[in-house]
Copies of this chain bind each other. A is one copy, B any other.
Amino acid sequence: MIHIQDLETPIVLVDEDKLKANILRMQKKADKAGVYLRPHIKTHKSKYIADLQMKAGAIGVTASKSSEAAVFIEHGIRSVTLAYPLVERRKIRRLLELAKLHICQLNFICDSRYGFDTIKDVCHQSRFEAAIFLKIDVGLNRCGFDPDNKKVLKMARVIHNDKYLRLAGLLAHEGNSYGAENAKKARKFCKNAIQVLRALKYRIEQEYIPVPDLSIGSTPGALATKRFRAITEIRPGNYVFMDRTPIRLGLAKERDVALTVTSTIVSENKNYYICDAGSKILSSDTGGHGKNNIEGFGLVFPMNTYPDTSKNLLLEKLSEEHGFIVKNKNTKLNIGDKIRIIPNHACAVVNLVNTLYLVKGDVFLKTISVSARGKSI
């Protein structure tokens, strides 16, 4: 039996019980609300965790990168939504070919005429069929059609009438929920997304164009909301691990967080303990979309009192391989002591390592490969 105290640092731990509990909780929520769960794999990039999600009842997975989607198509996931506006022919063709080979149902999204034409051209040239969601902006002001833009209806019709294309529905990311002040505000952002998609579906279907699916997705939105009304699927990602964002919003407790980074105190000065976890394992993210009102870069727990929050210290700033922990009279640390850190943004942490260390409490179980990491295209 290997105790985590005996593993070298810094590494990324994933608590199996907490991971499974988080997966189950979200699946139950989706089941109860009558929506499908299509988790976003950008958070874990790991076949092992995708398998747990599928086993629990997920309908398929969501991916942003074409190269990451490919890993999960090849792994045998039978339904994948590429929730990113691809505008490059090679990426689209490669994914369609792979999906055909692996009998995977693949959905694209589109938010511009250019994007649509690119998908269409590939499909027409190669006689591929493809399902397309129209991406709708519900307040993040990033990608997506303005829901009031008349182009939406026009695009829906063009897709509907195309020989090779099928309108899968409307898709939105209520990403503004990450920056919400509290759970209530996050719920409001999610409710707004639901209303926008419902109204738009109604308008499109009045034109006799079926809009089968309404898909939204964000962990704060999914955690904060109970009734999803006309929505047919949700696409949260971060919920498998949680981090300081759902904690800040009051949507999770420290004890729910399945992913922590271990570190060792290597030095100290008048104001700080210096640990061996810096921005190259924790990232400099303050949260999703970089606009969380989160102080510092992680919550620090002495290894033997984790997850007791009364002994917390704050990781105030980071160098590449160093963390600066604010000294505090209540919690004394010594050089050589090991700590566990709840990061600001778990998705960014996983993206920085090749390996996750699966643990059960304080006991190491096995390593998990971050198979889809480092595939930038």
Q: Take A84-B321, A283-B283 as given contacts and tell me if A141 and B269 are in contact as well, using a CB distance cutoff of 8 Å.
A: yes
Output the residue of A12, A324, A336 with the most chain B CB within 10 A.
Answer: A336
- How many chain A residues touch B (CB < 8 A): the figure is 70
Q: Is A15's beta carbon under 8 Å from chain B?
A: no
Q: Which residues of B contact A65 (CB under 8 A)?
A: 321
Contact between A87 and B8 (Cβ–Cβ < 8 Å)? no
- Interface contact A353-B376, CB-CB below 8 Å: yes
Whole-angstrom CA separation of A222 from B322 in the bound complex: 22
Q: Which residues of B contact A355 (CB under 8 A)?
A: 374
Q: Are B281 and A283 in contact (CB under 8 A)?
A: no
Q: By the criterion CB–CB under 8 Å, are B11 and A319 in contact? A: no
Interface residues of A in 303-342 (CB under 8 A from B): 317-322, 324, 334-336
Given contacts A112-B335, A142-B274, A353-B376, contact A137 B269 (CB under 8 A): yes
- A264 at the binding interface (Cβ < 8 Å): yes
- Chain B residues near A9: list those with CB within 8 A: 88, 377
Given known contacts A290-B279, A353-B376, A335 and B142 CB-to-CB distance under 8 angstroms? no
Interface centre among A11, A291, A351 (most CB of B within 10 A): A351
Q: Collect the chain B residues with CB atoms within 8 Å of residue A334's CB.
A: 114
A324 to chain B, nearest CB (A): 7
* Residues of chain A from 1 to 37 with CB closer than 8 A to chain B in the complex: 8-12
A284 at the binding interface (Cβ < 8 Å): yes
CA distance A274 to B281 in the complex (A): 27
User: Does B90 contact A8, Cβ atoms closer than 8 Å?
Assistant: yes
Q: When the two chains form their complex, are residues A319 and B289 in contact, meaning their CB atoms are under 8 A apart? A: yes
In A352-377, the 8 Å CB interface with B consists of 352-355, 373-374, 376-377
Q: How many copies does the complex hold?
A: 2
Q: Mark A141-185, 1 if CB is under 8 A from B, else 0.
A: 111101000000000000000000000000000010000000000
Verify B354–A266 contact, CB threshold 8 A.
no
Q: Is the Cβ of B335 less than 8 Å from the Cβ of A317?
A: no
In the assembled complex, the CB of A326 is this many whole angstroms from the nearest CB of chain B, namely 13
Q: A376 and B283 in contact (CB under 8 A), knowing A91-B8, A112-B267, A141-B271?
A: no
Q: Contact at B285–A279, with CB atoms within 8 Å?
A: yes
**Contact assessment for B347 and A320 in the assembled complex, using a CB-CB cutoff below 8 Å:** yes
The reply to whether the CB of A115 lies closer than 8 angstroms to some CB of chain B is yes
B290 near A284 with CB under 8 A, answer yes
Chain B residues with Cβ under 8 A from A348's Cβ? 279-280, 284, 320
A 272-294 contacts with B by CB, 8 A: 272, 274, 276, 279-281, 283-286, 288-291
Question: How many Å from the CB of A270 to the closest CB on chain B?
Answer: 8
Q: How far is the CB of A369 from chain B (nearest CB, A)?
A: 11
Instruction: Answer whether residue A86 sits at the interface, using C-beta atoms and an 8 A cutoff.
Output: yes
**Any B CB within 8 A of the CB of A111:** yes
Q: Which of A81-109 contact B (CB under 8 A)?
A: 84-88, 90-91
A79 at the interface (CB under 8 A from B): no
CB distance from A283 to the nearest CB of B (A): 6
The 5 closest A-B pairs by CB, nearest first: A284-B284, A143-B267, A354-B374, A114-B335, A8-B377
Besides A279-B285, A289-B319, A352-B374, 12 more A-B contacts (Cβ < 8 Å) are A11-B377, A84-B266, A112-B268, A114-B334, A141-B271, A144-B267, A279-B290, A283-B284, A284-B284, A288-B320, A320-B347, A351-B352
